[in-house]
Amino acid sequence: MRLILLGPPGAGKGTQAQRLVEKYGIVQLSTGDMLRAAVAAGTPVGIQAREIMARGELVPDAVVVAIIADRIEQPDARKGFILDGFPRTEAQAEALGKLLHQKGLDLDAVIELKVDESILLHRVERRVAEMTARGEAVRADDNAESLKKRLDAYRAQTAPLVHFYAGKGMLRTVDGMEPIDDVTSAIGRILAEAAFRPKAAGSAAKRGQAAAKTKSGAKAKSKAKLASKTKKAAKKAPKKAVKKVTRKGVSKTAKKTPKKVSKKKPAPRGKSKSRRAGKKVRRARKARK
Ligand code: ADP
């Protein structure tokens, strides 16, 4: 399972991603978290990103693409992943497409969490209050000024991805204003559907299926042979079991041979041996009654 969660800051991507991690046993790849870890560790990437992030602007595409390229290589991402906060620009989306293609992987879904902008500030303020209450360090960009910038960046650079993925037929939208559990259920339904949907032609999944078919080709062939044999046998075999009345009056099941439909010209009436035999039998039956 590989999916993208798309939505503005405060839409609930992180909350839903955590639930998906538990449900599907896949990893959450949040570029925001990774960048914050880099900032905390003081790595070169962290040093580069620190100020940009605090201002609420976007870190350069090349930096985040490199982080993601490295991260999806890790063994824990093999089973699948949820991209949270990535891609955030069309260039990142293109780069992700290339990366996945090189690895023969596909995305199962791109889920947009749609929310009214008016509630975002409230949600972020609540997050700040909750983090403070837990004694956690508040994010440098969780303030009204940076949030405004983050929203501007979302509108200008990330929102166009909705059309980008809609154009590829991959976008599914969920109402992010609903209660958390309802949003989770809606996402669950989308993913259940995605799991059974045939992938686009030439997709990695299709390639995989084709390989599986080739492997089981011999098996399938012999199965088909068997099926056709059974069909032929069924044609020859009597179709109905009917009750046969015996002298003792006990009913026994007997097989009734279905009428044969012959394309050949029927034999002249009088000359048919089987017809005469049939008449005899009928007469005998009548006499018995
Ligand atoms: P939110 O979605 O709540 O704004 P994130 O934790 O996803 O927060 O991101 C925090 C910040 O990290 C962003 O404002 C941006 O500076 C940086 N960032 C995260 N992901 C990306 C990305 N894909 N491209 C560029 N910058 C990013």
Residue 283 known to be catalytic: no
| Active-site residue identified among 2, 36, 50, 88 | 88
Lowest-confidence region among 137-151, 153-167, 266-280:
266-280
**Which pLDDT score, from 0 to 100, does residue 264 have?**
47
Q: In Å, what is the CA distance from 140 to each residue of 13, 25, 75, 166? A: 19, 30, 31, 33
The structure tokens listed for 124 are 């972020």
Whole-number Å distance between alpha carbons of 30 and 32:
5
- Asked if residue 7 has its Cβ within 6 Å of ligand 1, the reply is no
Of 58, 64, 70, best ligand 1 pocket probe by most atoms within 8 Å of the beta carbon: 58
**Which pLDDT score, from 0 to 100, does residue 197 have?**
66
φ, ψ dihedrals at 200, nearest 5°: -60, 155
At 246-258, the pLDDT tens digits run 444 444 444 444 4
| Active-site residue identified among 78, 103, 126, 279 | 126
∠ Cα 130 135 141 (to 5°): 65
Residue 123 known to be catalytic: no
- Asked if residue 39 has its Cβ within 6 Å of ligand 1, the reply is no
At 256-289, the pLDDT tens digits run 444 444 444 444 454 445 555 666 666 666 665 5
Q: What is the dihedral of CA 277, 280, 281, 283, to 10 degrees?
A: 160
- Asked if residue 9 has its Cβ within 6 Å of ligand 1, the reply is yes
**Which pLDDT score, from 0 to 100, does residue 138 have?**
87
Residue 180 pLDDT more than 60?
A: yes
Q: Which atom of ligand 1 is nearest to the CA of 68?
A: 23
Whole-number Å distance between alpha carbons of 51 and 39:
10
**Which pLDDT score, from 0 to 100, does residue 209 have?**
45
**Which pLDDT score, from 0 to 100, does residue 195 have?**
76
* Runs of H (alpha helix) within 103-203: 117-133, 144-153, 160-167, 180-196
Q: What is the dihedral of CA 25, 29, 33, 36, to 10 degrees?
A: 140
- The amino acid at 84: D
Give the architecture-level CATH label for domain 2-26+79-116+169-209: 3-Layer(aba) Sandwich (3.40)
| Active-site residue identified among 2, 36, 50, 150 | 150
Whole-number Å distance between alpha carbons of 235 and 163:
56
**Which pLDDT score, from 0 to 100, does residue 194 have?**
80
**Which pLDDT score, from 0 to 100, does residue 274 have?**
54
Q: The pTM is what?
A: 0.70
State which H helix or E strand residue 81 sits in.
strand 81-84
The structure tokens listed for 197 are 């949907």
**Which pLDDT score, from 0 to 100, does residue 284 have?**
62
Residue 91 pLDDT more than 70?
A: yes
The structure tokens listed for 278 are 């049939």
Instruction: Return mean pLDDT, the chain.
Output: 79
Of 34, 51, 59, best ligand 1 pocket probe by most atoms within 8 Å of the beta carbon: 59
Q: What is the dihedral of CA 129, 58, 186, 191, to 10 degrees?
A: -130
Residue 188 pLDDT more than 60?
A: yes
**Which pLDDT score, from 0 to 100, does residue 281 have?**
60
Cβ atoms of residues 154 and 8 within 8 Å: yes
The structure tokens listed for 57 are 């602007």
Residue 140 pLDDT more than 50?
A: yes
Mean pLDDT, residues 196-205: 52
Cβ atoms of residues 5 and 29 within 8 Å: no
At 214-245, the pLDDT tens digits run 444 444 444 444 444 444 444 444 444 444 44
Please tell me whether residue 114 adopts helix, strand or coil conformation: strand
Rg of the chain over CA atoms, in angstroms?
A: 34
**Which pLDDT score, from 0 to 100, does residue 137 have?**
87
The label of the residue with tokens 């949040």 reads 30
Residue 50 known to be catalytic: no
- Asked if residue 35 has its Cβ within 6 Å of ligand 1, the reply is yes
Distance 48 CA to ligand 1 centre (A): 14
| Active-site residue identified among 71, 139, 199, 206 | 139
